[in-house]
């Protein structure tokens, strides 16, 4: 009897996955729908190295309660069943309201994404897939008892917890989203099994206002939290430097048994919510660095999630499809399939790109960019200084 080879990549997705906050809320499902459509139209999903799975039903409460407080889960059920109750002052204490408005089915939508992330992590933990990708996952601001920042349940924590519950003892979490991965950091701040590493725009300038180099882990887990807080306008080179100077060496030194990566691309220059100004050519470099890091440290065990990226037609679809290609071990070539451009046009994207890395880039401003590059070096230096006693390799 022959056994089927383990796929290099499992993609967990269906087009019903994701939150539905309504109105012009930034969490537009087209972001990940068009990414998976580009994977499909490029032939990536038909490769022998790639398998796909539909997201399962909502994660049961006992699964959610591995990470989240039972009272919080009960409150989310209540506001999801009866959204009008979210007018009560108590709802604010649970993080419901504003960017996280209650709507019918809110709990189920979030719990489904959690289930997708858990499926991906479980497949990697038990060897059914070498790596797994959930483009619709990646909510990273929520706490164990509070919804926060476009998310109800912290989906990255569910992926991490699934790996821990499968028996792994060292999990590295790498968060490349432009916003600090605060929820995930605080949930595991005192847990020496989890190293959280976040590269983001400084909390002096951007939500959620945390993620400074001095946040290096709690008393029970010193050196388990790493933050690179980049200045506005830092651009591609700052992300490259943060990766090579900080992320790669600390994760290597930690020696994880698996890596969970939050691959938000809301640092792109067209994104309405940030000021870092990265461009498309950066992303395949980041994905390659992640994949090589996983290959070198933990036999390729990488659970990659989407994340921020709020200009749904521009960066997220091509960035996350390129991530799938890197994880599957194949190269993509221009032009992007015309059939995908037609899908994107039909989805309301006015001028879908013809090239994978096509990007006019931000308007150049020499003085601004020069000052930002110097400030970015200083930011990376601050992180290295804060972490040197935990990671001598940085010095």
Shortest distance (Å) from residue 273 CB to Zn ion: 7
Query: Is 266 among the residues that bind Zn ion (CB under 5 A)?
Result: yes
List helix spans (H) across 16-128. 30-41, 61-64, 70-81, 89-93, 106-125
Shortest distance (Å) from residue 41 CB to Zn ion: 27
CA 316, 321, 325, 328 dihedral sign is: positive
- What is d(CA 39, CA 48) in angstroms, rounded to the nearest whole number? 14
Shortest distance (Å) from residue 210 CB to Zn ion: 13
Report CA 341 to chain centroid distance, whole Å: 25
Shortest distance (Å) from residue 375 CB to Zn ion: 20
List the structure tokens of 119.
């499926």
User: Of the candidates 267, 260, 280, 248, which has an alpha carbon nearest to the alpha carbon of residue 157?
Assistant: 260
* Pick 215 or 266: Cβ nearer Zn ion: 266
Shortest distance (Å) from residue 141 CB to Zn ion: 8
Nearest residue to Zn ion on Cβ basis:
308
DSSP 11: E
The correct pick among 308, 312, 317, 352 for binding Zn ion (CB under 5 A) is 308
Contact region with Zn ion (CB under 5 A), list: 37-45, 215-223, 236-244, 262-270: 262-270
- Catalytic residue, from 13, 140, 141, 179: name it: 141
* Pick 28 or 41: Cβ nearer Zn ion: 28
The percent helix, strand, coil of the chain (3-state, each to 5) is: 40, 10, 45
User: Of the candidates 324, 321, 276, which has an alpha carbon nearest to the alpha carbon of residue 9?
Assistant: 324
Which conformational region is residue 267 in: left (phi greater than 0), alpha (psi within -120 to 50 degrees), or beta? alpha
DSSP 199: E
DSSP 143: B
List the structure tokens of 237.
């080179």
Contact region with Zn ion (CB under 5 A), list: 75-83, 127-135, 239-247, 265-273: 265-273
Contact region with Zn ion (CB under 5 A), list: 104-112, 263-271, 318-326, 348-356: 263-271
Shortest distance (Å) from residue 150 CB to Zn ion: 8
Contact 313, 37 (CB under 8 A): no
Q: One symbol per residue from 166 to 185: x for binding Zn ion (CB under 5 A), - otherwise; what is it?
A: -----------x-x------
Q: Within 13 Å and on the Cβ side, how many CA atoms surround 171?
A: 29
Contact 116, 136 (CB under 8 A): yes
CA 210, 193, 302, 114 dihedral sign is: negative
* Pick 138 or 362: Cβ nearer Zn ion: 138
Query: Going along 183-320, which residue ranges are E strands?
Result: 194-201, 225-230, 258-262, 302-305
* Pick 148 or 287: Cβ nearer Zn ion: 148
**Is 13 among the residues known to form the active site?**
no
Shortest distance (Å) from residue 199 CB to Zn ion: 12
Catalytic residues: 141
What is the binding site for Zn ion (CB under 5 A)? 177, 179, 264, 266, 308
């Amino acid at each position: 009897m022959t056994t089927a080879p383990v796929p290099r990549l499992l993609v967990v997705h269906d087009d019903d996955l994701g939150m539905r906050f309504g109105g012009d809320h930034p969490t537009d499902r087209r972001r990940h729908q068009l990414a998976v459509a580009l994977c499909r139209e490029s032939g990536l999903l038909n490769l022998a190295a790639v398998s796909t799975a539909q997201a399962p039903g909502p994660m049961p409460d006992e699964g959610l309660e591995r990470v989240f407080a039972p009272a919080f889960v009960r409150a989310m059920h209540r506001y999801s069943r009866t959204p009008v109750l979210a007018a009560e002052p108590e709802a604010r204490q649970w993080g419901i309201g504003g960017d996280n408005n209650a709507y019918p089915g809110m709990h189920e939508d979030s719990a489904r994404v959690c289930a997708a992330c858990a499926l991906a992590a479980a497949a990697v933990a038990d060897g059914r897939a070498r790596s797994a990708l959930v483009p619709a996952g990646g909510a990273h601001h929520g706490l164990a008892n509070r919804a926060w920042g476009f998310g109800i349940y912290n989906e990255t924590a569910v992926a991490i917890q699934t790996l821990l519950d499968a028996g792994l003892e060292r999990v590295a979490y790498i968060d490349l989203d432009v916003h600090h991965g605060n929820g995930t950091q605080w949930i595991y701040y005192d847990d020496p099994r989890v190293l959280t590493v976040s590269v983001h725009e400084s909390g002096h300038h951007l939500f959620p206002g945390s993620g400074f180099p001095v946040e290096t882990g709690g008393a029970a887990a010193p050196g388990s939290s790493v933050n690179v807080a980049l200045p506005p306008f830092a651009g591609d080179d700052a992300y490259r430097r943060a990766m090579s100077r900080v992320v790669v060496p600390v994760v290597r030194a930690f020696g994880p048994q698996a890596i969970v990566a939050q691959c938000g691309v809301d640092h792109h220059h067209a994104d309405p919510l940030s000021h870092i100004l990265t461009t498309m050519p950066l992303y395949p470099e980041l994905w390659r660095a992640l994949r090589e890091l996983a290959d070198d440290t933990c036999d390729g065990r990488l659970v990659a999630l989407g994340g921020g990226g709020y200009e749904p037609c521009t960066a997220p679809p091509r960035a996350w499809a390129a991530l799938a290609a890197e994880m599957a071990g194949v190269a993509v070539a221009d032009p992007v399939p015309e059939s995908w451009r037609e899908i994107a046009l039909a989805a309301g994207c006015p001028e879908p790109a013809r090239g994978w890395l096509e990007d006019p880039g931000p308007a150049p401003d020499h003085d601004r960019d020069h000052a930002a590059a110097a400030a970015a070096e200083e930011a990376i230096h601050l992180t290295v200084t804060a972490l040197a006693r935990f990671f001598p390799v940085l010095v």
